[in-house]
Amino acid sequence: MHASSEQTEIIKASQKLQLGQIMKIDACAGSGKTTTLVAVANANPQKRFLYLAFNRSIADKANQVFPPNTRAMTMHSMAYRHFFRSGARPTLSAIKIDMLHDCFPGKENYELFLLLNRYKEFLISAEREFPGREIKKIFELVANGTLPMPHDHYLKLFQLLSPEEQGLGRMYDCILVDESQDCNPVTLSIINRASCSRIFVGDSHQSIYGFRGAINALARQKADVTLYLTNSFRARQPILDRANLYMKMFMDMLYDGQVPYYPMNSMINEEKLKNKQTACITRTNSMLVDLIDEYREKPERAYLVKNPEDVFKMAIAVKEFLFDRRNNFVGEFKFLNHLHGKEELKDYADSTADVEILSAMKIAEKYEDDLYDLLDIARRMNQPEAPVVLTNAHTSKGLEWHTVKLMDDFPDLGFRYLGCRFNPVKFKPGMSHLEKQDERFKDFIQELNLYYVAITRAQIKLVDMTDNAAYQSREAILAHLDECESAIRKSRDRRKIQKVQEHEYTRETKNTHKHRQTSELRMWETERDTVLNRMRKNIQDCAISANNFKEFKDLLGLGGILLQQRNNDWAYVDFYGRGITAKRLGKEFTKDYIMNFLKN
């Protein structure tokens, strides 16, 4: 390759890197990160390199282009090979809340949700001690096969080993960490405990996987040598200037100039460009489905980057639950069997913070039975050379096209910024000013980075249909922020007035109608009676269908009802953890009555 001055400096620095030292390369979009790392490996033939890739497809491609002194793999594949190279292999799957009911009897649904969240947080953390007995119990249940093993579980097991057991320092002289901005704490812990030298390369502004626990490791990683790649070989300067404007402005506002932004410069060679495709990039899955619908008459003209099943499977499951009253789901959608209707599904999504379910509800209600046709159409969008490409911002990362069209479902960054600024945040003790800013604005930073990623997929032409397209200069953005702040303050004032009025109304109602039930209480009583009657019918149906107590209990479980021993009788616990005693339901639901009924 013909190396630029920046790349030449990096190659020379890699040759001087000593055992245990760290080099950090902050590289802009399209700067030739992988090409630079290949040049580093070629310039150090005496060294053994481990190239850590973000996913398997990148690792496979890297093994084809790197020299023989380099081995490419993902962190997960490295951990998996360590434990399961031979012998019995575990069942690999995510752990769902409904799998924990028998393991932790007596816990309500929301308690299991919090427990599962603590387990997931521990898996991606750098911690090496169990944060409680319940987390340790989950590890024991996974070990004995009672619960399946998530992929992050065996990576955590690898992290819990000593550096000597992991063997990275023994097998390699240097670790190359690509896309290092997307590392999470557990991955960083493994890499930084290795005794060999390390080279981190990535783009701080392409950190878009915060929802997976990624922490923009590149920005936080301490290094002996820090270098930059600011020349982009991908895009024309006007496109880069668009990204430069937003990144420079908001970086200055967020960090008061303490975290510098290095503007990108175009070094594109348009004569070598062969790709003439137009990519439509969405922010959400629902907009992606709308685009698939637009091309239903000509699917051969569009290529869908994302797996069609991943786009539609949740929406189809929700559709069958809401409109077909299906209640025999298996696998990842088994939780739907315990719910009754749209409101319970929405409550479940809210209580488990599952935005994917809310998006699927929106898609299912809009398209209903048409979803099956759209899935079939999406499967036919399988020609990578088609003139139009359909993708969302997350799956567009690492790709590039002649023309990019940003769809209008990206959020207004001005409102997002000020929304985070006005929201109260709890900070951990000892956090620095920069860490506090990261925490306060983490949702905004993710959206800003997604916008940056989407813009920098374009090579020649960018068509921006988002709200942000209206603001093309620093002055225009500042004016828009003033408008956003005014609108947010007015909205907050209206909410304050509304709360005061509600408080006054409640106080007056209490004084005036002290001994009368409110309409809300009557509504609650009606809902309570509905719940009780529905439970009575479910229990009676199970008792009639069962031949013995075990079948009765199993049928109750399938209907989302658990039996609990209460004194000398039973309580029936529904999916939301509401325990209702047999006495309250009626004498025909008591333990003695049911057992006699089953015997006869």
Q: What is the DSSP string of 322-337?
A: HHS------GGGGGGG
The set of long-range contacts for 155-162, using a CB threshold of 8 Å and a minimum separation of 24, is: 155/75, 155/76, 155/79, 155/123, 155/186, 155/187, 156/122, 156/123, 156/124, 156/186, 157/79, 157/83, 158/78, 158/79, 158/82, 158/83, 158/190, 159/126, 159/128, 159/186, 159/189, 159/190, 160/128
Q: Do 241 and 455 contact (CB within 8 A), yes or no?
A: no
Examine the domain organization and report whether 222 and 109 are in the same domain: no
Examine the domain organization and report whether 143 and 160 are in the same domain: no
CA distance 441 to 493: 22
**Confidence (pLDDT) at 500:** 61
pLDDT band at 382 (very low <50, low <70, confident <90, very high): very high
Examine the domain organization and report whether 107 and 211 are in the same domain: no
Beta pairing, strands 562-566 & 569-573: antiparallel
297 within domain boundaries: no
Both tokens of 36, joined, read 């630079």
Query: Coil, helix or strand for 54?
Result: coil
Examine the domain organization and report whether 168 and 51 are in the same domain: yes
Examine the domain organization and report whether 102 and 90 are in the same domain: no
The set of long-range contacts for 432-438, using a CB threshold of 8 Å and a minimum separation of 24, is: 433/258, 434/255, 434/258, 434/259, 437/254, 437/255, 438/216
Examine the domain organization and report whether 171 and 212 are in the same domain: yes
CA atoms within 13 A on the CB side of 172: 24
What mean pLDDT do residues 362-386 have? 93
Q: Which helix or strand (DSSP H or E) is residue 280 part of?
A: strand 278-282
Write the pLDDT tens digit of every residue in 143-159.
999 999 999 999 999 99
Examine the domain organization and report whether 85 and 105 are in the same domain: no
166 within domain boundaries: yes
Based on the structure, what is the number of domains in the chain?
3
The CATH number covering residue 33 comes to 3.40.50.300
**Confidence (pLDDT) at 550:** 77
Examine the domain organization and report whether 582 and 529 are in the same domain: yes
Query: Coil, helix or strand for 563?
Result: strand
Both tokens of 96, joined, read 């769902």
Q: Which helix or strand (DSSP H or E) is residue 304 part of?
A: strand 302-304
Computed over every residue of the chain, the mean pLDDT equals 86
| Structural Rg of the chain based on CA atoms | 28
Domain that holds residue 592: 519-599
**Where does a domain end: 229, 253, 286?**
229
CA atoms within 13 A on the CB side of 74: 16
Examine the domain organization and report whether 68 and 156 are in the same domain: yes
537 within domain boundaries: yes
CA distance 450 to 29: 12
Answer whether residue 423 shows pLDDT above 70: yes
121 within domain boundaries: yes
**Confidence (pLDDT) at 501:** 59
Residues in contact with 496: Cβ distance below 8 Å, sequence separation at least 6, in sequence order: none
The 3-class SS string of 407-471 reads CCCCCCHHHHHHHHHHCCCCCCCCCCHHHHHHHHCHHHHHHHHHHHHHHCCEEEEEEECCHHHHC
β strands within 4-104, DSSP E:
22-27, 49-53, 70-74
- Among the residue ranges 251-260, 342-351, 505-514, the one predicted with the least confidence is 505-514
Examine the domain organization and report whether 168 and 110 are in the same domain: no
**Where does a domain end: 203, 229, 255?**
229
Q: Which residue has the higher pLDDT, 456 or 595?
A: 456
**Where does a domain end: 209, 229, 249?**
229
DSSP string of 222-272, one letter each residue? --SEEEEE-EESSS-HHHHHHHHHHHHHHHHHHHTTSS-----EE---GGG
525 within domain boundaries: yes
Examine the domain organization and report whether 122 and 57 are in the same domain: no
**Confidence (pLDDT) at 213:** 47
Task: Tell whether the torsion through CA atoms of 357, 361, 367 and 372 is positive or negative.
Answer: positive
Examine the domain organization and report whether 29 and 134 are in the same domain: no
Both tokens of 122, joined, read 């521990």
Beta pairing, strands 579-581 & 174-177: unpaired
181 within domain boundaries: yes
What mean pLDDT do residues 171-179 have? 94
**Confidence (pLDDT) at 526:** 56
438 within domain boundaries: no
pLDDT band at 3 (very low <50, low <70, confident <90, very high): confident
7 within domain boundaries: yes
Question: Percent of the chain, pLDDT > 70?
Answer: 90
